[in-house]
Structure 1
Amino acid sequence: MTQPLLSIDNLSIAFSNQGETRTVVSDLSLRIQAGETLALVGESGSGKSVSALSVLRLLPSPPVSYPQGDILFQGKSLLHADEHTLRGIRGNKIAMIFQEPMVSLNPLHTLEKQLYEVLSLHRGMRKEAARGEILDCLERTGIRHAAKRLSDFPHQLSGGERQRVMIAMALLTRPELLIADEPTTALDVTVQAQILQLLRELKDELNMSLLFITHNLSIVKKLADSVAVMQNGRCVEQNTARTLLSAPQHPYTQRLLDSEPSGDPVPLPANTTPLLSVADLAVSFPIRKGILRRIVDENPVLKNVSFTLRPGETLGLVGESGSGKSTTGLALLRLIASQGTIQFDGMPLHNWNRRQMLPVRPRMQVVFQDPNSSLNPRLSVLQIIEEGLRVHRPALTPQQREEEVITVMEEVGLEPQARHRYPAEFSGGQRQRIAIARALILKPELIILDEPTSSLDRTVQAQILALLKGLQEKHQLAYIFISHDLQVVRALCHQVIVLRQGEVVEQGECQRVFAAPTQSYTRQLLALR
Structure 2
Amino acid sequence: MTTMPILDIQNLSIAFQQNGQENRVVDQISLQVAAGETMALVGESGSGKSVTALSVLRLLPTPPVTYPTGDILFNGESLLRADDKTLRHHRGNSISMIFQEPMVSLNPLHTIEKQLSEVLLIHRGMAKQAARDEIVEVLERVRLRDVKKRLNAYPHQLSGGERQRVMIAMAILTKPKLLIADEPTTALDVTVQAQILLLLKELKQEMNMSLLFITHDLNIVRKLADNVAVMCQGKLVEQNSRDMLFSRPQHAYTQKLLDSEPKGRPFPAQENNRNLLEIKNLTIGFPRPAGLFRPKINNTVVNGISFTIRKGESLGLVGESGSGKSTTGLALLRLLKSQGEIWFDGQPLHTLNMRQMLPYRSRIQIVFQDPFSALNPRLSISQIIAEGLEVHHHFTPQEREAKVIATMQEVGLDPTTRHRYPTEFSGGQRQRISIARALILQPELLILDEPTSSLDRSVQAQILELLKKLQQQHQLTYLFISHDLQVIRSLCHQIIVMRQGEIVEQGECETVFDSPQHPYTQNLLEDSR
The TM-score normalised by the length of structure 1 is: 0.92
- Which moves more between the two structures, 418-427 or 272-281? 418-427
**Equivalent residue number for residue 384 of structure 2:** 384
1:51, distance to aligned residue in structure 2 (A): 1.9
1:11-410 maps to which residues of 2 (within 5 A)?
11-290=12-291, 296-394=296-394, 396-410=395-409
Q: Deviations over 1:50-87 (max 9, x none)?
A: 22222223334444333333322223333333433333
Q: Please give the secondary structure, in 1, of the residue aligned with 2:326.
A: helix
2:474 aligned with 1:505: no
Q: Please give the secondary structure, in 1, of the residue aligned with 2:289.
A: strand
Answer yes or no: is the 8 Å Cα contact 1:429–1:464 preserved in 2: no
- Which moves more between the two structures, 264-273 or 420-429? 420-429
Q: Deviations over 1:356-406 (max 9, x none)?
A: 433333322222223333233333444434433433335x55555455545
Q: Please give the secondary structure, in 2, of the residue aligned with 1:308.
A: strand
1:209, distance to aligned residue in structure 2 (A): 1.0
Give the whole-Å Cα distance in 2 for the aligned partners of 1:514 and 1:26. 44
Give the whole-Å Cα distance in 2 for the aligned partners of 1:362 and 1:61. 43
Report the CA distance shift for 1:333/1:64 in structure 2 as closer, same or farther (over 3 A). closer
Q: Can you give the 5+ residue segments of structure 2 that lack an aligned partner in the other structure?
A: none
Answer yes or no: is the 8 Å Cα contact 2:142–2:199 preserved in 1: yes
Q: Please give the secondary structure, in 2, of the residue aligned with 1:289.
A: coil
Answer yes or no: is the 8 Å Cα contact 2:5–2:33 preserved in 1: yes
1:16, distance to aligned residue in structure 2 (A): 3.0
Answer yes or no: is the 8 Å Cα contact 2:316–2:482 preserved in 1: yes
Give the whole-Å Cα distance in 2 for the aligned partners of 1:366 and 1:259. 26
Q: 2:469 is matched by which residue type in structure 1?
A: G
Answer yes or no: is the 8 Å Cα contact 1:286–1:295 preserved in 2: no
Q: 1:462 is matched by which residue type in structure 2?
A: A
- Which moves more between the two structures, 76-85 or 139-148? 76-85
Answer yes or no: is the 8 Å Cα contact 1:182–1:213 preserved in 2: yes
Give the whole-Å Cα distance in 1 for the aligned partners of 2:58 and 2:146. 36
1:132, distance to aligned residue in structure 2 (A): 1.6
Give the whole-Å Cα distance in 1 for the aligned partners of 2:128 and 2:438. 50
Answer yes or no: is the 8 Å Cα contact 2:290–2:297 preserved in 1: no
Report the CA distance shift for 1:418/1:66 in structure 2 as closer, same or farther (over 3 A). closer
Q: 1:268 is matched by which residue type in structure 2?
A: A
- Which moves more between the two structures, 488-497 or 19-28? 19-28
- Which moves more between the two structures, 500-509 or 408-417? 408-417
Report the CA distance shift for 1:237/1:522 in structure 2 as closer, same or farther (over 3 A). same
The TM-score normalised by the length of structure 2 is: 0.92
Q: 1:36 is matched by which residue type in structure 2?
A: E
Q: Deviations over 1:107-136 (max 9, x none)?
A: 443333332232233333333322221110
**Equivalent residue number for residue 432 of structure 1:** 431
Give the whole-Å Cα distance in 1 for the aligned partners of 2:367 and 2:384. 13
Report the CA distance shift for 1:470/1:30 in structure 2 as closer, same or farther (over 3 A). same
1:185, distance to aligned residue in structure 2 (A): 1.4
2:450 aligned with 1:472: no
Q: Please give the secondary structure, in 1, of the residue aligned with 2:35.
A: coil
Q: 1:452 is matched by which residue type in structure 2?
A: P
Report the CA distance shift for 1:83/1:352 in structure 2 as closer, same or farther (over 3 A). closer
Q: Which has the larger radius of gyration?
A: 1
1:249, distance to aligned residue in structure 2 (A): 0.7
Q: Please give the secondary structure, in 1, of the residue aligned with 2:507.
A: strand
Q: 2:354 is matched by which residue type in structure 1?
A: R
1:38, distance to aligned residue in structure 2 (A): 0.6
Q: Deviations over 1:243-289 (max 9, x none)?
A: 10222110111111112111101221242222222222222333322
Give the whole-Å Cα distance in 1 for the aligned partners of 2:388 and 2:289. 36
Give the whole-Å Cα distance in 2 for the aligned partners of 1:40 and 1:125. 35
- Which moves more between the two structures, 261-270 or 517-526? 261-270
Q: Please give the secondary structure, in 1, of the residue aligned with 2:174.
A: coil
- Which moves more between the two structures, 453-462 or 504-513? 453-462
**Equivalent residue number for residue 459 of structure 1:** 458
2:514 aligned with 1:515: yes
Give the whole-Å Cα distance in 1 for the aligned partners of 2:53 and 2:310. 47
Report the CA distance shift for 1:354/1:70 in structure 2 as closer, same or farther (over 3 A). closer
Q: 2:329 is matched by which residue type in structure 1?
A: G
Give the whole-Å Cα distance in 1 for the aligned partners of 2:361 and 2:94. 54
- Which moves more between the two structures, 445-454 or 100-109? 100-109
Report the CA distance shift for 1:117/1:435 in structure 2 as closer, same or farther (over 3 A). closer
Q: Please give the secondary structure, in 2, of the residue aligned with 1:198.
A: helix
1:39, distance to aligned residue in structure 2 (A): 0.6
Give the whole-Å Cα distance in 2 for the aligned partners of 1:352 and 1:483. 29
Q: Can you give the 5+ residue segments of structure 1 that lack an aligned partner in the other structure?
A: none
Report the CA distance shift for 1:162/1:340 in structure 2 as closer, same or farther (over 3 A). closer
Q: Deviations over 1:155-174 (max 9, x none)?
A: 43333222222211221111
Answer yes or no: is the 8 Å Cα contact 2:513–2:525 preserved in 1: yes
1:22, distance to aligned residue in structure 2 (A): 3.2
Q: How many pairs are equivalent?
A: 527
Report the CA distance shift for 1:362/1:237 in structure 2 as closer, same or farther (over 3 A). same
Answer yes or no: is the 8 Å Cα contact 2:495–2:509 preserved in 1: yes
Answer yes or no: is the 8 Å Cα contact 2:230–2:237 preserved in 1: yes
Give the whole-Å Cα distance in 2 for the aligned partners of 1:145 and 1:486. 27
How well do the aligned residues superpose, as a CA RMSD in angstroms?
Answer: 2.5
Give the whole-Å Cα distance in 1 for the aligned partners of 2:363 and 2:345. 10
Give the whole-Å Cα distance in 2 for the aligned partners of 1:59 and 1:376. 22
Give the whole-Å Cα distance in 1 for the aligned partners of 2:467 and 2:258. 21
Give the whole-Å Cα distance in 2 for the aligned partners of 1:445 and 1:412. 18
Q: 1:221 is matched by which residue type in structure 2?
A: R
Answer yes or no: is the 8 Å Cα contact 2:45–2:428 preserved in 1: no
Q: Please give the secondary structure, in 2, of the residue aligned with 1:174.
A: coil
Identity %: 69
1:427, distance to aligned residue in structure 2 (A): 4.5
- Which moves more between the two structures, 123-132 or 136-145? 123-132
Give the whole-Å Cα distance in 1 for the aligned partners of 2:75 and 2:383. 53
Q: Please give the secondary structure, in 2, of the residue aligned with 1:15.
A: strand
